[in-house]
Structure 1
Amino acid sequence: MRLILRILKLTVILFVGISLFMVILYRFVNPPVTWLMITRGFERKSDGKDWKIDKKWINFDDIADPMKRAAVAAEDATFLENHGFDFKAIEKAIDNNNKKNSHKLVGGSTITQQTAKNVFLWPGRSYIRKGFEAWFTLLINIFWSKQRVLEVYLNEIEMGDGIYGVEAASQAYFHISAANLNKSQAALIAACWPNPIKWTPDNPDNHIMHKKYLIIKNMRRMGPLDF
């Protein structure tokens, strides 16, 4: 029993130390690759496709303001005010998902939570992963600025089959840099995020066009982002 407790204690200490180191490191160093990118790469290979990770980093100041506003309007309206978690959104999502006639799971994750998941964790859904997500969200909220969170989020998010980040997406779908995105293009990119494999900005259906309209409407309500 003592040996087991020692091993457990050492495991916890190592995990806390490594996770702290990685979060602080990525405050200054751009994450080179994520578990999702690697997983998707192997999925492509198993489907007989070439390995593909199309990812081009763009600094926060170079990203067009409409893209930053569209991300907040689409994913996390309280981003600048919350401390990594939006408990009202989480409660609303739980209530919706518990309804018997609800056929679609609704998420309540903030941009900070999604960044924690995208950068530090593996794809999938489980209570264990949610626990790790909460831990990394807490660390990110302590050690990163809101500007850094949004910068990493916009550079790591999945945007299509083998496409990651708004710079690669902007070039792939609109043949321009993310620095030059207008309000309509930015909202269209953000509208596809829930399922970027199914939906892409270059072939939007009525559902995506309606989401784009709602995002632009929310952008007007938000006012300027004050970092």
Structure 2
Amino acid sequence: MDKEVDSQRVDIVSEEREEAEVSRWSAVRKTWRARRRRIVFIALSVLLLPYALIVLYLLEFIHPISTLMLRDLVLLRGYDRQWVEFDDIAPVLVQSVMMSEDGQFCSHGGVDWNQMRGVVQNALDGEQTRGASTIPMQTVKNLFLWNGRSFVRKALELPLAIAADFVWSKRRMMEIYLNVAEWGDGIYGIEAAARHHFGVSAAKLSRRQAALLAVALPNPIDRNAGKPGRGLRRLASVIERRASRSGGYITCLYD
């Protein structure tokens, strides 16, 4: 009789242990599911936030800052940026930047697919690739992403550029780009750049000064528009000539 009671007690204890074990693993699974949901929610929020900001930046009184400017703030470096309206930027600067950075700015929808196909084909053929970034692509990169070549960054950049080009007018796009572009260490935007390099406002830039600033954009740290070397001056001369013949390319910006 005692043996039967002991056996029943053992069975009860075993069942209780099994139930406790099942309950523990069930709690662990629930915890992991909750964590996965939070991670997915955070990841989706991070991915969707730039698209919400694109809509917000439709408001012309909002003056966006770039990720590099944000970095300088976090590192307590500070920076120089003075927002300037599109109509207060010398047209020769706009022309020069377009001819240097994105000649088809008025005709594409954020991405120049012809150039992009050429870059992809060169990469597949093992040849050296050239840049195919449009002004919308550079703008969203400056606002939401990071510098450096990366397939991940490019994959994020393309849909953002298409969305920004769809939502913003070409004038708003160019205004934002010229106000967040880097033109030197801690120098952001065309107004700060014009005053830093040439001692004039963005509205007073000459054609030569505009061309020098435009060709400095791909590498603003090493290319000093205010103290150009021979190579930079030569590139500026090419952009000057292109800008002087750019009337048909800038119809989306000027009536």
TM-score (norm 1): 0.85
- The yes-or-no answer on 1:36 pairing with 2:68 is yes
Quote the residue 2:82 is aligned against. 56
Rounded Cα–Cα distance in structure 2 between residues aligned with 1:107 and 1:137? 15
Quote the residue 2:5 is aligned against. none
Rounded Cα–Cα distance in structure 2 between residues aligned with 1:144 and 1:202? 32
1:41 touches 1:51 (CA, 8 Å); kept in 2? yes
Which range moved further: 3-12 or 202-211? 3-12
- The yes-or-no answer on 1:226 pairing with 2:247 is no
1:64 touches 1:180 (CA, 8 Å); kept in 2? yes
Amino acid at match of 2:92: P
Amino acid at match of 1:201: A
The 3 A distance-change label for structure 1 pair 37 and 96 is farther
Deviation at 1:57, TM superposition (A): 0.5
Deviation at 1:92, TM superposition (A): 3.1
1:41 touches 1:162 (CA, 8 Å); kept in 2? no
Deviation at 1:178, TM superposition (A): 0.3
Rounded Cα–Cα distance in structure 2 between residues aligned with 1:14 and 1:38? 19
Quote the residue 2:104 is aligned against. 78
Which ranges in structure 2 are unaligned for 5 or more consecutive residues? 1-28
- The yes-or-no answer on 1:130 pairing with 2:163 is no
Listed as ranges, the matches of 1:43-122 within 5 Å are 51-96=77-122, 102=128, 106-122=130-146
Quote the residue 1:173 is aligned against. 197
Deviations 1:67-108 (CA, angstroms, capped at 9, x unpaired): 111111000010000000111222333455567674xx5210
Quote the residue 1:215 is aligned against. 239
Q: Which has the higher helix share?
A: 2
Which range moved further: 204-213 or 17-26? 17-26
Deviations 1:145-189 (CA, angstroms, capped at 9, x unpaired): 110110000010000011011110100011110011111110110
Deviation at 1:203, TM superposition (A): 1.1
Deviations 1:34-53 (CA, angstroms, capped at 9, x unpaired): 222243567xx6xxxx8231
1:35 touches 1:123 (CA, 8 Å); kept in 2? no
The 3 A distance-change label for structure 1 pair 17 and 198 is closer
Alignment coverage as a number of residue pairs: 218
Rounded Cα–Cα distance in structure 2 between residues aligned with 1:40 and 1:16? 23
Which range moved further: 201-210 or 60-69? 201-210
Deviations 1:86-132 (CA, angstroms, capped at 9, x unpaired): 11222333455567674xx5210100000010011123322221111
The 3 A distance-change label for structure 1 pair 15 and 162 is closer
The 3 A distance-change label for structure 1 pair 101 and 41 is farther
Which range moved further: 162-171 or 205-214? 205-214
Which range moved further: 90-99 or 156-165? 90-99
Deviation at 1:138, TM superposition (A): 1.9
Q: Which of the pair has more CA radius of gyration?
A: 2
TM-score (norm 2): 0.76
1:70 touches 1:186 (CA, 8 Å); kept in 2? yes
The 3 A distance-change label for structure 1 pair 16 and 163 is closer
Q: Secondary structure of 2:183's match?
A: strand
Amino acid at match of 1:65: P
Quote the residue 2:17 is aligned against. none
Kindly report the root-mean-square deviation, in angstroms, between the aligned alpha carbons of the 2 structures.
2.6
Rounded Cα–Cα distance in structure 2 between residues aligned with 1:182 and 1:77? 20
Amino acid at match of 2:180: E
